[in-house]
Structure 1
Amino acid sequence: MYVSSARLAQTFCSGLCFALLLSLPLIEVASAEETPLTAQKIFYLQKIRPLLEQKCLGCHGSTPDDIKGDYNMLTRDSLIRGGESGEPAVIIGKPEESPFWKAVTWKDENIQMPPQERNRLNAAEIADLQQWISTGAVWTDRELLPSSTNNSSQQSSIVMSTSGGQSPTWTNRTYEPADIWAYQPIQRPPVPWAALGKKLNSQRNPIDAFIQQKLKQKQLIASPAAEKKTLIRRATYDLTGLPPTLKQIHEFENSQHQDSWSLLIKKMMESPHYGEQMAQMWIDVVRYADTSGFANDYERPNAWRYRDYLVRSFNADKPYDRFIIEQLAGDELDPDDPELLIATGYLRSGPWEHTGMSVAAVTRQLFLDDITQSTGVSFLAHSFRCAKCHDHKFDPVPTRDYYRIQAVFAPVQFADRKVEYQPYENISGFADMKERTERLLAETRAQQQQFKEKTDAAIAAWLKENGYQNLKQVAADKRPPLRWFGLSEFEKSLLKINNKRIDYFERELKRYEPYAFSVYNGPPNNYRSTKTVNLIPGAKQKQGEIQQTFILAGGAITAPTEKVTPGVLSAVAGSNSSREPNAWNTIPQTSEGRRLALARWIASSNNTLTARVIVNRIWQLHFGTGLVATPNNFGQKGDQPSHPELLDWLATWFMDHGWSIKQLHQLIMTSETYQQSSQPV
């Protein structure tokens, strides 16, 4: 692989993951009558070809007219032959002597491929290449079918239907059923009542039946019931985040009512602190913050309205499917409803900053990446970020899907919407707080004015001393530092600090004005975080072309490739609208309605992920660990459900009961499973 290292290092990773053998010459044409693939060819198809596609062909095979270093890796002969150095890159049977192998192991300081540390081959991949070269570098242009292997377990593997990967190999790869459980339709398993023996119906909770069944299979027994004092502490901490009062403990311990436990749970959920506790859980999920992060970390003075919306929603037991739609697309659902405009603060919750030092295209892409990832993790327990640069290595999430979902958010623009404070919003004390902020702002500005006057006096004295009438007569490179000339080091520090204080106080004043931290749909609006208020523009300014979305090679905004239209996660059962043009999840191409369609797809009972994800989060809140121990990852690298039948039963029960989170709490907490002691038998 002796090629110009300078040329390759400069260009290798510009398209690492997106030239995926789409132009492979069909030298070896397979037919149904051909003999089965040999073990060496299967090894090449399973291990080597995907590795070359992901790591090499971006620069050595994406387009025949643009082969870096004249090294073409599209055929076996050209891969072995090497590049512009004229020396063979692969010596058959001798990997350690092959420049190709030395390059991918980074053993030669003059050429290290791929050149970026994050794209280096791991030990297993290097070992596969070593084995491949040692055994003859066997190559085939046939496709690997599930029946092409002698491994009997392969027969049960599944090819997932998706919108299509960047190569036929990825598109047609197979998955073990256990690894793609979350994509399969939610089942409605029967409750194993027999596991509870002869208990009366009034004493039977379906959760206990599933748990007891699993315990018996493992020859285990449940712990005894916890004492009342433990239970009330457990309930109040779970539902309100607060310890019980002595009065509450005494009343519960001495209650003779047969439903005292159930009544206690209902009472805790009627407390306003319940909504605060649940909102705290949710703002952690959706990465809410009161400041914007990055260098300036500007305050978000009106973000509290979204936080309080969450508290109200949980206290009102808003159906979870409606809760999803309001946050993702409240403004599209009803642009005249103040509560729905406030709800879209979810879309603004991630870190974001755009200043005069920023590149607009970069900050825009940072937002699109963030909201795509957040939507996947928050509602679907899927991290989409891996698919930004390449088809997902483990899950059936093609890069195309990543950018199709991102296209849903392409029309989203930031704005401070004027939304009058509602009677149910707490603005008590605003007058006093505003007066205090105005006073601090005035004091800071007065001190800055003193520094300016001192600087002006020092500059005037310098001009006089050096025989100048004004600064215009002084060459630019000889002028004194105008901003802090004549100030002490301490005063210079105060000057910088005060500039920041002024920024913060100006934004703090915005809290006392009826703005909503919200969004609207339209073309780019040059929103800057350095501006204190960015109002929604008029109708004329909202007209124009909506940002188009392209698959970005390697995730780089400088390398757009195929244009995509809005879509959803195609691997979810029933989501591949390319085969079902009238499917329930169709996303419109217009600027309006994209988010609403996505939200309805997520909130649909047909979605295989959404209900499972939220019931798992509620289970985790009560037990510390979810039925799926990785609540943000239902993919292959996440944990599989410990009780898959119970998870699906809870998901169907939850949807059957109006997506009510309070009813789900009641069901879980009235089970013997929840009420057992934490001490083992």
Structure 2
Amino acid sequence: MRPAPVRVPRPAATGILLAILAPIGLARGQDAPGSSGPLPPPADRSVDFLVDIKPILDARCVSCHGAERQKSGLRLDQKAGAMAGGDLGPAIEPGAGADSLLIHRVAGFEGESIMPPTGAPLSPQEVGLLRGWIDQGATWSEAGAGGGSRRPSDHWAFRPIEPDPPPDVRDEGWVRSPIDRYVLARLESAGISPSREADRATLIRRLSLDLTGLPPSPEEVDAFEADDSPASYEAFVDRLLASPHFGERWGRHWLDLARYADSDGYEKDRPRPEAYRFRDWVIAAINRDLPFDRFTIEQLAGDLLPDASPDRLTAAGFHRNTLTNTEGGVDAEEFRVAAVIDRVNTTGSVWLGLTVACAQCHTHKYDPITRREYYQLFAFFNSADEADRPIESGSSSVRDAGTEGDEPGPRIRTFVEQAGEDRRESRIHIRGDFLRPGEPVEPGTFEVLPPLPETGGRPDRLDLAEWVVDPENPLTGRVAANRVWHHLFGRALVTSMDDFGTRGESPSHPELLDWLASEYRRLGWSRKGLIRAIVRSSTYRQASAVRPELREVDPENVLLARQNRIRLEAEVIRDLALAVGGLLSTEVGGPSVFPPQPPGISELTYASSARWEESSGPDRHRRGLYTFFRRTSPYPMLTTFDAPDANVCAVKRSTSNTPLQALTLLNDAAFVEGARALGLRALREDPSLAALRAFRLALGREPTVEELEILDGLRASLLHALQADAGSVHALLGGEVPPHGIGRAEAAAIVATSRAILNLDEFITRE
């Protein structure tokens, strides 16, 4: 039995939380404490201002020390201001980096408040570049003092992916993977040791939740704890990767990017009864490990591939997930253009990690993307019209609904490419207004990136898709690998996941990011292969507990000296509540379902399409990603736990902590039914220790002595109260009959205890 802190049910912890949060709120505005360690050494090569220094200043400094704001009187976006310094004196001492205030502040030297005060601190490599530049005379090229350069090498994300060899480390025994070398080298340079490996019960729950979104059974936990060999760990990973539920878990991540929903949006918000076919294609493609380059091409241009199959037509529905306005009297062209704009912006965010939308009205203020280039990208999508295509039987990845008599079969919304003289002309929109057309443009990409391959004709979406995943494109591999890392650590290496431009965050581990991007390609763009490589590493297996010394020097865990605790996504939280009691249906795919929701929600949307006919049987307890998602009145449990609204691409979900979440865990129908099933299951499996059994089923571990005392005390007090309250007993049991020999009040007390267990922070958290 492992030691663990006592977990208090959320409703009982309000006073404690207030006491904890108050000082946190007071301290939030203070500068992070600095390090008393030595300065990182200067770069041992010639440092170029445009290539090495300006990107750091643009990304990390000028938001507070630029043209609009000059905190402490310091300006770092122009030579005169940088050399003059600020209220604290000169920031740069040319020829003397170690004596320069700028270096002291970005390194947190000798207790100096570290800069920037928010976000990840500069890496030792970045500090070394700044120090080397100052040592070499702090030469400031005026060519970089505004507007930026157009050379691909000007910014780290536009440089070719050329990973450095994994570095040597002192603690070779900790290394299981090249990943560990990159991480450990940073830790050793900072004088920090990695955390111990998490215990086996934590590891199996972590792996299960990360890879399938489902909890391990007590029997799986027992077997995993009994065999701690490397082969046991790797075999369990492979079993999870082969599970059909892997595609559900990782497909849900992708559906956020695809802004998938089951309705049109806008006021009418009509249902899309066949939209689920795209969702099912995503799940099937991920389960069969369709290489990411093919996964990309089929979604951007599946309809243009030779002999496009029903699967590929379905895949091309990625960009048919945009909103559609069917209100009377609207300007159809206005909303067609709005949909094309959304496709351009989504493509830029999902695959390139760039804020291309900023160039819709004018040349991008910070990144090398002109307005003309934006509309060149627009032209790829502007020549495609939407159409409903029939789904033929025999498709390998979508469920064929079949036909009866002369009734038409199911249809999928996809693209039809215009050709020849019918091709729609594309023009620059003056100030982003489609009613003010400017110069005509042809399809094209960004000058800062490698050019489109020559095809001898007018490039189309298929050419664009192949360019996106071309090995010479430096962005796609980095963006995709960064996203996989985020889902396995709760924090990306580049935290601005949709902005790899000059205003985004620099990677915390640039060499590791490039290795991951290169490895992704080397593995044939195998998503499963990259995930397998990451979860096998010692870095992934670390415990998530915050050590006191880490809280002081690396409060945001930028250096990866531990794992992160991750609040689970809305759909997974609901799935867990149903799974631990044995209610969850494990059927994969099919039309969306209508689980119970609070009355009146569906009436919030357009009246003619507002029916919410509650599903029955197994469909009542399907996984959360199969819940019908209506844009104007989304399923409330999902939005309470921060599910995106599906109106635009969601690169990263937010994570909130609100009283409404605790109330949902106590009172939402799925959690009431899940707790009831959990309590009755525990009574059937171990009637003498039912509370302990419920705890283990829910959390995947044994309770500590203190936790068991709390559970027993709670059960006893509930039993005492329920023996005199037949109405509450009936409500808790909901008509279910207790196992033979168990009294109704006793069964109700275990059900109520199970409700408290499902309300624990640990239940909705991946450790």
Report the CA distance shift for 1:196/1:657 in structure 2 as closer, same or farther (over 3 A).
Answer: farther
Q: Which residue of 2 aligns with 1:670?
A: 536
Whole-Å Cα distance in 1 between the matches of residues 259 and 381 of structure 2?
Answer: 18
Report the CA distance shift for 1:429/1:286 in structure 2 as closer, same or farther (over 3 A).
Answer: closer
Q: Which residue of 2 aligns with 1:654?
A: 520
Report the CA distance shift for 1:123/1:680 in structure 2 as closer, same or farther (over 3 A).
Answer: closer
The correspondence for 1:277, drawn from 241, 249, 252, is 249
Whole-Å Cα distance in 2 between the matches of residues 428 and 515 of structure 1?
Answer: 10
| CA positional deviation for 1:377 | 0.5
Query: 1:84-483 counterparts in 2 under 5 A?
Result: 155=140, 170=147, 173-174=148-149, 180-192=155-167, 194-199=168-173, 204-422=176-394, 424=396, 427=399
Report the CA distance shift for 1:152/1:344 in structure 2 as closer, same or farther (over 3 A).
Answer: farther
Report the CA distance shift for 1:282/1:292 in structure 2 as closer, same or farther (over 3 A).
Answer: same
Please say if residues 160 and 474 of structure 2, whose CA atoms lie closer than 8 Å, have aligned partners that are also in contact: yes
The correspondence for 1:679, drawn from 525, 530, 545, is 545
Whole-Å Cα distance in 2 between the matches of residues 398 and 513 of structure 1?
Answer: 45
Please say if residues 274 and 411 of structure 2, whose CA atoms lie closer than 8 Å, have aligned partners that are also in contact: yes
Whole-Å Cα distance in 1 between the matches of residues 348 and 476 of structure 2?
Answer: 10
| CA positional deviation for 1:354 | 4.1
Whole-Å Cα distance in 1 between the matches of residues 241 and 307 of structure 2?
Answer: 31
Q: Which residue of 2 aligns with 1:612?
A: 478
| CA positional deviation for 1:637 | 2.1
| CA positional deviation for 1:548 | 1.0
Q: Which residue of 2 aligns with 1:451?
A: none
2:602 maps to 1:630: no
What amino acid maps onto 1:191 in structure 2? P
Report the CA distance shift for 1:360/1:174 in structure 2 as closer, same or farther (over 3 A).
Answer: same
Give the secondary structure class of the aligned counterpart of 2:382.
Answer: coil
Report the CA distance shift for 1:257/1:204 in structure 2 as closer, same or farther (over 3 A).
Answer: closer
Whole-Å Cα distance in 2 between the matches of residues 218 and 416 of structure 1?
Answer: 58
Structure 1 vs Structure 2 CA RMSD: 3.1
Report the CA distance shift for 1:175/1:678 in structure 2 as closer, same or farther (over 3 A).
Answer: farther
| CA positional deviation for 1:600 | 0.3
Please say if residues 292 and 353 of structure 1, whose CA atoms lie closer than 8 Å, have aligned partners that are also in contact: yes
Report the CA distance shift for 1:355/1:153 in structure 2 as closer, same or farther (over 3 A).
Answer: farther
Q: Which residue of 1 aligns with 2:412?
A: 516
Whole-Å Cα distance in 2 between the matches of residues 429 and 418 of structure 1?
Answer: 11
2:433 maps to 1:553: no
Please say if residues 477 and 521 of structure 2, whose CA atoms lie closer than 8 Å, have aligned partners that are also in contact: yes
Whole-Å Cα distance in 2 between the matches of residues 426 and 571 of structure 1?
Answer: 39
What amino acid maps onto 1:250 in structure 2? D
The correspondence for 1:641, drawn from 507, 516, 526, is 507
Structure of greater Rg? 1
User: Which whole-Å deviations, capped at 9, do the CAs of 1:557-586 have from their partners, x for residues lacking one?
Assistant: 1222221110012212x23xxxxxxx5266
Please say if residues 327 and 340 of structure 1, whose CA atoms lie closer than 8 Å, have aligned partners that are also in contact: yes
Structure 1 unaligned regions, length at least 5: 1-120, 128-149, 161-168, 436-508, 523-541, 576-582
Please say if residues 311 and 398 of structure 2, whose CA atoms lie closer than 8 Å, have aligned partners that are also in contact: no
Please say if residues 157 and 174 of structure 1, whose CA atoms lie closer than 8 Å, have aligned partners that are also in contact: no
| CA positional deviation for 1:179 | 7.4
Whole-Å Cα distance in 1 between the matches of residues 354 and 494 of structure 2?
Answer: 13
| CA positional deviation for 1:676 | 0.5
Report the CA distance shift for 1:567/1:543 in structure 2 as closer, same or farther (over 3 A).
Answer: closer
Give the secondary structure class of the aligned counterpart of 2:385.
Answer: strand
Runs of 4 or more above 3 Å deviation: 121-124, 150-160, 173-179, 196-200, 421-431, 585-588
| CA positional deviation for 1:588 | 4.1
Give the secondary structure class of the aligned counterpart of 1:609.
Answer: helix
User: Which whole-Å deviations, capped at 9, do the CAs of 1:621-674 have from their partners, x for residues lacking one?
Assistant: 000010101111111222110000000011111101101110111110011000
Whole-Å Cα distance in 1 between the matches of residues 266 and 435 of structure 2?
Answer: 23
Whole-Å Cα distance in 1 between the matches of residues 210 and 228 of structure 2?
Answer: 24
What amino acid maps onto 1:186 in structure 2? I
Whole-Å Cα distance in 1 between the matches of residues 377 and 257 of structure 2?
Answer: 19
Q: Which residue of 1 aligns with 2:558?
A: none
User: Which whole-Å deviations, capped at 9, do the CAs of 1:119-178 have from their partners, x for residues lacking one?
Assistant: xx9788xx9xxxxxxxxxxxxxxxxxxxxxx99756468779xxxxxxxx85xx448999
What amino acid maps onto 2:492 in structure 1? G
Whole-Å Cα distance in 1 between the matches of residues 400 and 423 of structure 2?
Answer: 41
Give the secondary structure class of the aligned counterpart of 2:412.
Answer: strand
Whole-Å Cα distance in 2 between the matches of residues 520 and 159 of structure 1?
Answer: 44
Query: 1:31-110 counterparts in 2 under 5 A?
Result: none
Whole-Å Cα distance in 1 between the matches of residues 151 and 303 of structure 2?
Answer: 41
Please say if residues 157 and 475 of structure 2, whose CA atoms lie closer than 8 Å, have aligned partners that are also in contact: yes
Whole-Å Cα distance in 2 between the matches of residues 204 and 253 of structure 1?
Answer: 20
What amino acid maps onto 1:209 in structure 2? R
| CA positional deviation for 1:213 | 0.6
Please say if residues 345 and 355 of structure 2, whose CA atoms lie closer than 8 Å, have aligned partners that are also in contact: yes
Whole-Å Cα distance in 2 between the matches of residues 396 and 624 of structure 1?
Answer: 30
Give the secondary structure class of the aligned counterpart of 1:362.
Answer: helix
Q: Which residue of 1 aligns with 2:453?
A: 584
Whole-Å Cα distance in 2 between the matches of residues 336 and 346 of structure 1?
Answer: 15
Give the secondary structure class of the aligned counterpart of 1:659.
Answer: coil
What amino acid maps onto 1:520 in structure 2? V
| CA positional deviation for 1:330 | 0.7
Give the secondary structure class of the aligned counterpart of 1:392.
Answer: coil
Whole-Å Cα distance in 2 between the matches of residues 585 and 409 of structure 1?
Answer: 19
| CA positional deviation for 1:259 | 1.1
Identity of aligned residues (%): 34
Whole-Å Cα distance in 2 between the matches of residues 159 and 411 of structure 1?
Answer: 37
What amino acid maps onto 2:162 in structure 1? Q
Please say if residues 317 and 661 of structure 1, whose CA atoms lie closer than 8 Å, have aligned partners that are also in contact: yes
Whole-Å Cα distance in 1 between the matches of residues 498 and 316 of structure 2?
Answer: 21
Give the secondary structure class of the aligned counterpart of 2:524.
Answer: coil
- Aligned residues between the structures: 419
Whole-Å Cα distance in 2 between the matches of residues 622 and 598 of structure 1?
Answer: 30
Q: Which residue of 1 aligns with 2:463?
A: 597
What amino acid maps onto 1:255 in structure 2? D
What amino acid maps onto 1:516 in structure 2? I
Please say if residues 389 and 399 of structure 1, whose CA atoms lie closer than 8 Å, have aligned partners that are also in contact: yes
Whole-Å Cα distance in 1 between the matches of residues 258 and 241 of structure 2?
Answer: 22
Please say if residues 379 and 613 of structure 1, whose CA atoms lie closer than 8 Å, have aligned partners that are also in contact: yes
